[in-house]
A and B are shown apart, each in its own frame.
Chain A
């Protein structure tokens, strides 16, 4: 008990120390709120590790604009309300120069009103379109949107001559936002949604929903919109039921873990994802090749873990900020914001970023590659 009290006191004094106002020659303070634990941990964890790794790397290389970087990270435990509180702490108490993060859309949207009011650059690592549509002055994002994923999949379907899609989405924020965007953009792409089922993130069996889908005449493909372990269970269940329809996943499973968990059942699954995941097989002339291979090597070297696109989003966010600071020549928030908005031709793990006053993400469909799992490996489908 006494020990616990001591650690609590230590933490308290730490908090108090952090309250000392920043001096002029102080490091550039990078704040981040990530879901390092909780249901979204498999996204937030690589993000947190990436930030930690690259802040160290940048500092080892002499920092940015002659100043060291200092990273302040909080774990919201995948709870959007906590993200809101930590954002306040970053803004008011830690007085950071930029906020990276919001692993999930919920956490991001919880922080948006705060950063808009505090007028501080904010680069989100979450997927949904709502983050940048409508455009919010101080809010940017690095990952591809769920709408882009849907559009990429629709394009691939049409190429293969299919128009009828059975949708199975997760009841998580990611899945439901994806479901909404998929349904919304289907008509325009000439795709008909013939089934609209959901499953819970912690479900251990999804055969009931799949049996229903199996019974629907005319379905030509299945799209699963979810994150983490759920899609792996769905994939196994599809194999078990002997459903032979082409199977699409979202960019939410673009990590080695998905293949590992699904095993042989993942053969032939297609999904849109960033080039990062197929770094090794990219043609040498691909503009992203040096960036993605460099990041992949650094990440797996440092953490002995397979690289995922999620960590890449954090890399992109950090580098876009650093790039903007260099161009602006200052950490003045308004000037850096303008510089971020003026980002052009920035090559990140997610693609080539071209931001503008109306586009705070700056990625187009070319940033997405259609991948297919062959022989337990990610391969380029086109």
Chain B
């Protein structure tokens, strides 16, 4: 029982970071129909910038804030310079562009911040909390709590604010949104900035637990993509559920089945899910026949 509880805690912690990554994917997908393969690099960049700043003696809260702002700016820059000029390109070209962007980000970090791994201090110490025979790091609580807050904030943002509604409307029907006066260009820009900031939040939260380095983004990005697909691309609820599910599946596989194949299981499952429900667990929209 305590083993199960331990696996549950680990799964939820990892899952929460996947969920944040998946949310970033979904947000950009919603606004632009683009799968941003550079999302993982936003996560990496968030962790790296915060780690470098704290190492330079800047207080942690300030470093975290600065990291989020920097990464959000990078997100805006990416949209402006790489995505917007290629608006009319087809899916394959845009996938290549985002892969190119991820290489640029990774390469620049490698050259400027170095190849070594970096750690960020835990937000509130490293003394584990014991619950029912299992242990939980305070940082895990941070991860889960912040994820919950982010989700709530996003719900408010999309439900109540003009910009949020604009993004949703654009996702639903670009032309119609344009007709009712939504500035689609601004919506795209905003969604990239927001997704990048989300990525940075995830990166900053996970860095104390997982450490970070210039090449940490690829795997996190792929996992986020898997999680987003699990839940159904573009669905916020799906991203959260997909992320948590993915984290749980991984840890449960490692704990009870085989640690060698724990990375393969999510990919097998995602194939199965796509076969059974081609739009993921929570994906909406009509079946495309025409």
Contacts and interface: CB of A to CB of B under 8 A. Distances in A.
Query: In the complex, is A directly touching B at CB under 8 Å?
Result: yes
Interface of A: 37-39, 41-42, 45, 171, 197-200, 202, 204-205, 207-209, 211-212, 214-215, 228-229, 232-233, 236, 239-242, 257, 260-261, 263-265
Contacts of B210: 204-205, 233
Contacts of A260: 119
Contacts of B219: 200, 202
Contact of B135 (A205, A233, A241): A241
B137 A42 contact: no
B14 A205 contact: yes
B211 A211 contact: no
B117 A232 contact: yes
B260 A171 contact: yes
Contacts of B254: 197, 199, 208-209, 212
B135 A261 contact: no
Interface stretch (B5-13, B25-33, B169-177, B280-288): B5-13
Given A208-B251, A257-B117, A229 B211 contact: yes
A212 B259 CA distance: 10
Contacts of A204: 14, 17, 206, 209-210, 220
A212 B215 CA distance: 29
A95 B288 CA distance: 60
B147 to A, nearest CB: 15
A205 B251 contact: yes
A202 B3 contact: no
Nearest to B5: A211
A211 B128 CA distance: 15
Contact of B13 (A200, A202, A205, A264): A205
B259 A199 contact: yes
Interface in B84-99: none
A367 B124 CA distance: 42
A42 B255 contact: no
A211 B119 contact: no
B115 interface: yes
A232 B215 contact: no
A240 B137 contact: yes
Contacts of B183: none
B226 interface: no
A212 B3 contact: yes
A207 B251 contact: yes
6 contacts: A37-B115, A199-B259, A204-B17, A208-B6, A211-B7, A241-B128
Nearest to B218: A202
Contacts of B67: none
Given A37-B110, A42-B117, A205-B251, 12 more contacts: A42-B116, A205-B14, A207-B6, A208-B252, A208-B259, A211-B3, A212-B259, A232-B117, A233-B211, A240-B137, A241-B128, A264-B126
B119 A232 contact: yes
A78 to B, nearest CB: 9
What 4 A-B pairs are tightest by C-beta distance, nearest first? A204-B210, A208-B254, A202-B219, A229-B117
A212 B6 CA distance: 10
Contacts of A37: 110, 115
Residue among A214, A233, A240 facing the most chain B CB atoms (10 A cut-off): A240
Contact of A208 (B10, B118, B215, B263): B10
Interface string B243-264: 0000000111011000110110
B108 to A, nearest CB: 13
Interface residues on B, range: 35 or more
B216 interface: yes
Interface string B193-231: 000000000000010011101011011100000000000
A41 B117 contact: no
B211 A200 contact: no
Contacts of B10: 205, 207-208, 211
Given A204-B206, A229-B211, A242-B135, A211 B110 contact: no
A204 B219 CA distance: 10
A263 B13 CA distance: 21
A208 B17 contact: no
Contacts of B110: 37, 41
A229 B251 contact: no
B116 A240 contact: no
Contacts of B211: 229, 232-233, 261
Interface in B9-47: 9-11, 13-14, 17
A109 to B, nearest CB: 22
Nearest to B116: A257
A198 B130 CA distance: 25
A198 B3 contact: no
Contacts of A241: 6, 128, 135
B128 A242 contact: yes
A212 B14 contact: no
A184 B32 CA distance: 54
Contact of A263 (B126, B137, B263): B126
Contacts of A212: 3, 254-255, 259
A200 B220 CA distance: 13
A241 to B, nearest CB: 6
B6 A211 contact: yes
A204 B221 CA distance: 13
Given A202-B219, A204-B17, A263 B128 contact: no
B111 to A, nearest CB: 10
Interface string B66-97: 00000000000000000000000000000000
Contacts of A197: 254, 259
Contacts of B206: 204
Contacts of B252: 208
B52 to A, nearest CB: 13
A211 B256 CA distance: 10
A202 to B, nearest CB: 4
